[in-house]
Amino acid sequence: MTITLEQLSKTYEGSHQPVLKDISVQINEGEFFVIVGPSGCGKSTLLRMIAGLTGISSGKLMINGEVANQMPPKDRALSMVFQSYALFPFMNVAENVGFGLKSRKLPKDEINHRVNEALAMVNLSELRDRKPKELSGGQRQRVALARAIASEAKICLMDEPLSNLDAQLRAKMRIELKQLQRNLGLTVIYVTHDQVEAMTMADRVMVLNDQKVQQVDTPENLYQHPHNSFVAQFFGTPQINLLTANVTQCELIIDSALHLPITSSRINNSKVLIGIRPADVRIRVGSQGANARVAAVSYLGDQLVITADLNDSQTIRIVAGSQMQVAPDDLIKIVGIKCFDVFDINSKELISIQKGDVNDARVAAAEF
């Protein structure tokens, strides 16, 4: 089962502003495909368009090579898991899971068999006679999953299914969901605003922002080779540093504190945006040759997140080992940067990626 979107757009009635513009992608069979983006970017709308719950304004939606723009939801051979779980409060667990199978006029044995199997798969066999209100959030979530499984649809759409769970349970369910998807060979299209969910579960991720696709790629590529500063900023905690730099003949200068070498002939603006991952910055504490002042330190157990002010107005986040002795107002020297990305200051598109260490000498040196 493949799903192809060709220049899919959505404009709501009575509005001129499109919610989605020219979305094109092919989702392959058995793929765990995550749609991620900030709230209001249209990711849920896109999912609902695939489900058939929201109309398509223009473009083409193809399910298994067949145009499905006008196809009613039930004929699209897919299941959906909602953020609210959409369980029927007056039905018990088994009835909830079997709901929809009855209306497909399946024989009773078949329904029972599927319900039992689906409940066993999510470890809920014992609770089959309970009502949803007698279940915990995690268990309700599993009932919703079991219903999707029981439908035996090869495509499963999930709309932020884990966002109502607490952090620990969410981490556990992420792993279970992924296993389930692999075992059943499901094609999953999963909507979330959570970059960690996207990174940990996805085979491929589509990043949406400003009604448009920013990048469709594997989690590794999104992190290593972001197409623009939005994608770079969306993935990774703490967030990537985006610093404005002046371009001179041979250097990129950030706040007169950091001098980085020009690595690509494509850098020809007078200003650029430099993306530096906090973990890629190496520092030394001490006033000698310092080029930054510590503003705040957050202790995270295995690491420290240091926020430091550069010469002028820009701040930089740095991840350091937790054994480092550093406090607010200390002077530090940024001695090395492992790699950095250069983005166009206007279009925010990637210009070049510098790999490999920029050492002490070249980072250097204006006095703080």
Partner 1 sequence: MMLESLPQNSNSNDPSAQSAPAQLLTTAQWRKDNLYVALFLGPSLLILSVFVFWPMIKTLYLSLFLTDNLGHASEFVGISNYVNLFKNPAYLSSLGATLIYVVAVSILTIVLGMLLAVTAQQRLQGIRFFRTIFSSTMGISVSVAAIFWLFAFNPSVGVFAQISQALHLPEINWLADPHFALLAIVMTTVWMNLGFTFLILFGALQQLPASLFEAAEIAGVGKTKQFFKISLPLISPTLFFVLVVTLIDAFKSFGLIDLMTVGGPNNATNLLVYRVYQDAFLNGNYGLASTESVVLTVIIAVITLIQFKLLGKRVNY
Task: Choose one: 39-47, 69-77, 186-194, 316-324; the region binding partner 1 (CB under 8 A).
Answer: 69-77
Cβ-contact 93, 132 below 8 angstroms: yes
Q: Which residues contact 292 (CB under 8 A, 6 or more apart)?
A: 257, 283, 308, 309, 310, 316, 331, 332, 333, 334, 368
Q: How many residues bind partner 1 (CB under 8 A)?
A: 25
Task: Choose one: 23-31, 85-93, 238-246, 277-285; the region binding partner 1 (CB under 8 A).
Answer: 85-93
SS3 322: coil
| Tokens representing residue 217 in the block | 């790629």
Cβ-contact 342, 273 below 8 angstroms: yes
* Separation CA 43–CA 114 (nearest Å): 31
Residue choice 99, 176, 212, 344 for contact with partner 1 (CB under 8 A): 99
* 107 touches partner 1 by CB under 8 A: no
Nearest distance, CB of residue 214 and partner 1, angstroms: 28
* 137 touches partner 1 by CB under 8 A: no
Site mask for partner 1 (CB under 8 A), range 140-179, x = bound: -------x---x----------------------------
User: Which residue type does 87 have?
Assistant: L
Residue choice 28, 104, 248, 367 for contact with partner 1 (CB under 8 A): 104
Nearest distance, CB of residue 19 and partner 1, angstroms: 18
| Tokens representing residue 190 in the block | 């999963």
Nearest distance, CB of residue 94 and partner 1, angstroms: 15
Within a 10 A sphere around the Cβ of 362, how many other Cβ atoms?
Answer: 14
Nearer to partner 1, 12 or 90 (CB): 90
**DSSP symbol at 137:** H
Report which of 280, 247, 245 is spatially closest to residue 356, judged by C-alpha positions. 280
What residues between 42 and 61 interact with partner 1 by CB under 8 A? Answer: 51-53
What Å distances lie between residue 176 and 26, 90, 139, 200, CA to CA?
25, 28, 13, 12
* 136 touches partner 1 by CB under 8 A: no
Nearest distance, CB of residue 177 and partner 1, angstroms: 18
The residues binding partner 1 (CB under 8 A) are: 51-53, 73-74, 76, 78-80, 82-84, 86, 88-90, 99-101, 103-104, 131, 133, 147, 151
